[in-house]
Amino acid sequence: MTGAGDVERLLRRALAPVEPPEDLVGRLRNGLQSISDAAAEELEGWERAAIRDPRRWVRPGIAVIAGGAAGVGLFVLGAMRRRSRD
């Protein structure tokens, strides 16, 4: 019966909660901000004449998606921070 006890002990140890590093939120915020900034720079460089050529829509499309996702992530982080203060 020691085998079952060992498995249970190993499972408890493997499934123990882990605290995230204290600087995780800051690093995540910085990463999302840099993605958002890069997406904005990509869209700024896009010429209006390129709108007529669908082959040139890939990079701006990816920039819109990445920038939007990063913006949503930043919003969620801000909402979580405000909620934790209350």
Q: How far apart are the first and last CA of the chain?
A: 49
User: Does residue 59 lie in a domain region?
Assistant: yes
User: Does residue 57 lie in a domain region?
Assistant: yes
Q: Report pLDDT digits (tens) over 22-77.
A: 898 899 999 999 999 999 988 887 777 677 778 888 888 899 999 999 999 999 98
User: Does residue 68 lie in a domain region?
Assistant: yes
Structural domains of the chain, count: 1
User: Does residue 46 lie in a domain region?
Assistant: yes
What average pLDDT score do residues 4-29 get? 87
pTM: predicted TM-score of the whole model, two decimal places: 0.67
**Residue count (the chain):** 86
| Domain of 69, in residue numbers | 24-85
